[in-house]
Structure 1
Amino acid sequence: MARSPDLESRASSSLTHASTPELAIKVDEEQGAGISREIVDASGTAPEAEKEPPPPIGEPVSKVVSVNNIGAIPNGGLVAWLQVAGAFFLFFNSWGIVNSFGVFQTYYESELLQDSNASAISWIGSIEAFLLMLVGALTGPIYDAGYFRELLWAGSFLVTFGLMMLSICKEYWQVLLAQAFCVGFGTGCLFVPSVAILSTYFTTHIATAMGLAAAGSSLGGVLYPIIFYRLQPLIGFGWTTRTIGFIVLATQLIPNLCMKVRVLPASKRKIVDWSAFREPPYALFVVGGFLAFMGLYTPFFYIQLFAIQSNIADTNLAFYLLPILNASSIFGRIFPNMVADKVGPFNIIVLCAIISGILALCLNAVSSIGSLIVFCILYGFFSGSFVSLPPTILVGLSPNRGIIGTRMGMNFACVAVGILIGTPIAGAILDTSGFTAVWIFGGVLTVLGGCVIGVARVCKIGWKLTAFG
């Protein structure tokens, strides 16, 4: 059924001048009978629209705004920034918990799981991080289907429940089930909402918004280890872990109350877009992320143990190295992202990756507490962009906004494998060859990953250093 020019003009005007971001735009019967839902690709052209039957007489029509309608994206305002606040706490209780595993690694090796070696214990943290990324990728279609709120509820429950169960664990297999699998699945449910919703509220400031939200993971990585370390000697492992669970439950109220979907894709998306791997920039970016993440988390897991076993610091002082690393990462997720909005996210992430790898290699020359603290500050800052910038880059690597979720999910799934195997391999290297080989392993992989991402950048925008990318 053909639409009148007057109808198209009024419908377009109502979308462009909408003052509040809503899940659906209400079009009354006079305007909306027989309106079709369209997807506009990145070039601004519209494929053939999906026709929908007219509404019953006297009833309004509810239509979903196209994810590609750039003009309707608010790029600010109270509701948009509330999404950033909500996403901040989703990162706080997902990546923030994963970033805190170093303090559990040290505690398990010295107290709860003394009979297990470093590699076996590190599998707990790596599976937890792996499931965060993998489940996050698989829940993309659930988000697209409109079950955003259900994902928040499920994730909030699983993370809290997993921590409560961890508080009563005594054996390795129990810790594996509670912390690796239950908490890992829960964080995976929270991860997609934290990154997917922001791209529907921001375009020009997307890197800054993503960086502010991702800073929540660093703050969680600062506070949760300190809470664990200070409370555990006073009230024991059980009640300390329960306290962290109660904090998760309380802080999850914020995203559950303030976050709101503005727009969903007009149709269900595929889980895999195989054509993406035929595009060199995307394929190389995925390979680079896989390699970099294999090495990136090695200092997060082993820096405390390194300080203690190398007699650089006592137990009390060594504990604060992980919070220092995560605290500096807060700034590393905000300021590089602000610069990325000006010079391009590709330029920033390549630089930060290579510097992070070089810093990891420099750990072999560290022999004093002062130099180790400087390392933690620098490494936290430069490695911070690896969590906050990839979603922004993937937006630019998608031909239209309707498949951003698919391509993010594919990237997260591949990167998840790198996270899964990286730190256990480092643990096995530690058991056989010592810390020198561990830092070489982590540093070389991170530098190599940064270089591959650099090649992806060249394929996308060329060799010109000043090009936005």
Structure 2
Amino acid sequence: MAAPPSFQPDKLEGVSNTPSQGQPQNVKPPRPQPPNGGIRAWLQVLGSFFLFFNTWGIINSYGVFQTFYEEEMMLGSSSSTISWIGSLQSFLIMFLGALTGPIYDAGFVAPLLYAGSFLVVFGHMMLSLCHTFWQVLLAQSICVGTGAGLLFVPSIAVLSNYFTTKLAFAVGIAASGSSVGGVVYPILIRELQSTIGFAWAVRVAGFLALFGLALACLVMTMHDLPPPAQRRRFIDWSAFKEAPYTLFNAGMFLCFMGLYVPYYYIQSVAIQQHMTSEDLAFYLLPIINAASTFGRLAPGYFSQWTSPLNLLVPASLISGALALCLLAIHTQASLLAFCALYGFFSGSLVSLSGPVLVLLSPHPGVIGTRMGMCFTLLGIALLIGTPVSGAILDGEGGTRATWVYSGVLTLVGGGVLGMARVSMMTEWKLMGARS
């Protein structure tokens, strides 16, 4: 069995790793290898877990807000209009990667952590005071979304400074925080809303986010590596000349257009079509998120012996097929089975995308930039994907057309990811992974 991939020392432009004749002997030493373990490295995983918990965990919980807004706060507004709140929030967490990637590459990790943490907590406190659509849009979408966007790239990229062969597994453990958060936050909001009201339920969620993000800021540090020798550009246009990177971006764009449709609408559709009781319907989203915890951990573990993209392709194809299976689901038992399976396979797309992007980067100095470029495109997909599906849901197509939209886009995206894998057959060896 071939050895798992590992990073090669970073060879930056203008920095020589071996002194030549006549050169001064105080040239910077080669970039050291990540430790690939140890207490300090695993503390970064803990910190990254709480970053995911309070970024993607909050965004994965939006379905419970969608249902509450439709039935109470914004009664009379269309599903498509309300879904802009969640889609804009999801867009910002990805889109801001274009900004935070180069900032991360320049070594300014602490400002990203502190500013992002403040905005996430402050946004929750402001949301507790909101009563109208535009107020919610500013607090939940703009403020919380911007804060989460500042935190997302560091939550993955920092780990690449501490792990090599165990990177995908470490990212899987960290990314499971989004699944755990997606279980805790909906239940917390739902249960507290009925006892202390929506405003205080959101404030309690804000205090929970404050605790987790403060812990992350306390333990997360950059590994002692030399800073980049030159300022990184915000966009690495040369990356799009590489077929694997371009096809990977295109495939993930299509997947994210359809992937989150069930996360947004499974609860409201289950209630409207009387497939479950109203109380049980509110637990469908936590079930999806709970199952996605295992979907993030298991592929990350097995990717130590195979390419992350080898697991990402079938996971996306199965997710698309499962979305189409919603066309034939009309009972409570089958709906619960769908939630468990969909959560498991859809969870892999977020946790495995980061390690794939690390492998698609020629050296660690451009990881943040390339992640930011990809996440920006995925942010656009999230911005338009769910409002379009909401318009389909409100229109003549109804529920069936919505599930077709979700399933077909995810399936086609999985096919394009398969093309990316084929295109990497030669370049793969250059990056240290097996074909």
- Please, what TM-score do these two structures have when normalized by structure 2? 0.92
Aligned counterpart in structure 1 of residue 11 of structure 2, from 19, 23, 40: 40
Q: Does 1:275 align with 2:241?
A: no
Q: What is the number of equivalent residue pairs in this alignment?
A: 418
Gaps (5+ residues) in structure 2? 1-8
The 5 A counterparts of 1:6-405 are 39-40=10-11, 69=31, 71-262=32-223, 263=225, 264-405=227-368
Contact persistence 1:41–1:399 (CA under 8 A): no
Contact persistence 2:104–2:368 (CA under 8 A): no
Q: Which residue of 2 aligns with 1:5?
A: none
How far is 1:390 from its partner? 0.9
> In structure 2, what is the Cα distance between the partners aligned to 1:154 and 1:243?
20
Contact persistence 1:39–1:266 (CA under 8 A): no
1:97-154 Cα deviation digits (max 9, x unpaired): 0000000000000000113110011110000010001113311222233321111111
Q: Against the structure 1 CA distance between its residues 305 and 169, is the aligned structure 2 distance closer, same or farther, given a 3 Å change threshold? A: same
* Equivalent AA in structure 2 for residue 446 of structure 1: T
> In structure 2, what is the Cα distance between the partners aligned to 1:163 and 1:455?
41
Q: Which residue of 2 aligns with 1:455?
A: 419
Q: Which residue of 2 aligns with 1:15?
A: none
> In structure 2, what is the Cα distance between the partners aligned to 1:181 and 1:52?
52
Say what the alpha-carbon RMSD is for the aligned residues: 2.4
Q: Against the structure 1 CA distance between its residues 235 and 406, is the aligned structure 2 distance closer, same or farther, given a 3 Å change threshold? A: same
* Equivalent AA in structure 2 for residue 142 of structure 1: I
Contact persistence 2:104–2:154 (CA under 8 A): yes
Q: Against the structure 1 CA distance between its residues 347 and 242, is the aligned structure 2 distance closer, same or farther, given a 3 Å change threshold? A: same
1:61-104 Cα deviation digits (max 9, x unpaired): 9x9876xx3x5310000000000000000000000000000000
Q: Does 1:408 align with 2:371?
A: yes
> In structure 2, what is the Cα distance between the partners aligned to 1:357 and 1:127?
23
Q: Does 1:443 align with 2:407?
A: yes
1:321-361 Cα deviation digits (max 9, x unpaired): 00000000000000011111212111100000000000000
* Equivalent AA in structure 1 for residue 124 of structure 2: L
Contact persistence 1:160–1:245 (CA under 8 A): yes
Contact persistence 1:363–1:439 (CA under 8 A): yes
Computing the radius of gyration from Cα coordinates, the structure with the larger value is 1
Identity between Structure 1 and Structure 2 (%)? 54
1:209-235 Cα deviation digits (max 9, x unpaired): 000000000000000000001000111
Contact persistence 1:64–1:266 (CA under 8 A): no
Contact persistence 2:267–2:282 (CA under 8 A): yes
> In structure 1, what is the Cα distance between the partners aligned to 2:300 and 2:320?
19
- Please, what TM-score do these two structures have when normalized by structure 1? 0.85
The 5 A counterparts of 1:419-434 are 419-432=382-395, 433-434=397-398
Contact persistence 1:160–1:249 (CA under 8 A): yes
1:286-307 Cα deviation digits (max 9, x unpaired): 0001000000000000010111
Q: Against the structure 1 CA distance between its residues 39 and 319, is the aligned structure 2 distance closer, same or farther, given a 3 Å change threshold? A: closer
How far is 1:266 from its partner? 3.0
Contact persistence 1:39–1:47 (CA under 8 A): no
Q: Relative contact order (alpha carbons < 8 A, sep ≥ 6): 1 or 2 greater?
A: 2
> Partner of 1:342: helix, strand, or coil?
coil
> Partner of 2:281: helix, strand, or coil?
helix
* Equivalent AA in structure 1 for residue 322 of structure 2: L
Q: Against the structure 1 CA distance between its residues 388 and 84, is the aligned structure 2 distance closer, same or farther, given a 3 Å change threshold? A: same
Gaps (5+ residues) in structure 1? 1-37, 55-60
